[in-house]
Chains A and B, each alone.
Chain A
Amino acid sequence: GQNIDQPTEMTATEGAIVQINCTYQTSGFNGLFWYQQHAGEAPTFLSYNVLDGLEEKGRFSSFLSRSKGYSYLLLKELQMKDSASYLCAVRDSNYQLIWGAGTKLIIKP
């Protein structure tokens, strides 16, 4: 079967750094996506990784290791507005997105 695992909830402090991990087992691999979703709103695209390594985009970075079936999203200089759910999604060999259940990130002052 296809499976994506990520922690259910994480808590971090404003101004700090947090790493959200994602492990996956899918039928093929055609890229991994990270999305941010605030409660009651639509997901917004954060990053895309298809090759191993780190992709940096401002305060957010995403890392991929295909051999380990592993990715993480790194958020730096956390702000209160970063409180949201973060969804990891893998595109499989049929170009379908397989979604993780999401990690709810709580930022405390």
Chain B
Amino acid sequence: QVQLVQSGAEVKKPGASVKVSCKTSGYTFTSYGITWVRQAPGQGLEWMGWISAYNGNTNYAQKFQGRVTMTTDTSTSTAYMELRSLGSDDTAVYYCARAPVAVAGTDFDYWGQGTLVTVSS
């Protein structure tokens, strides 16, 4: 069965960076992409960006351009999302989800369990 398992909760200080992992199984990793969506406490869903696991192409939301890097490791079927220069408004649950391989799309059919990132001094 398709599974996306994310790394554990993180606590970071303002200005630091965080790197969240998303280990996948149950499907051919390079036949899909991975999208990242975050949800601040009590708020809605916010799309951050997408990476193709086939060729590494990325599409980042303008809001996060220059501050986020998404990568994949095809040898371990794992995707990573690094967010830099953290501020208190980056406190959120970060989700990875399986996405189309060629374009970012809106079709996210399997999701990870989420990773809580808390930014606090």
The answer to whether A and B assemble together is no
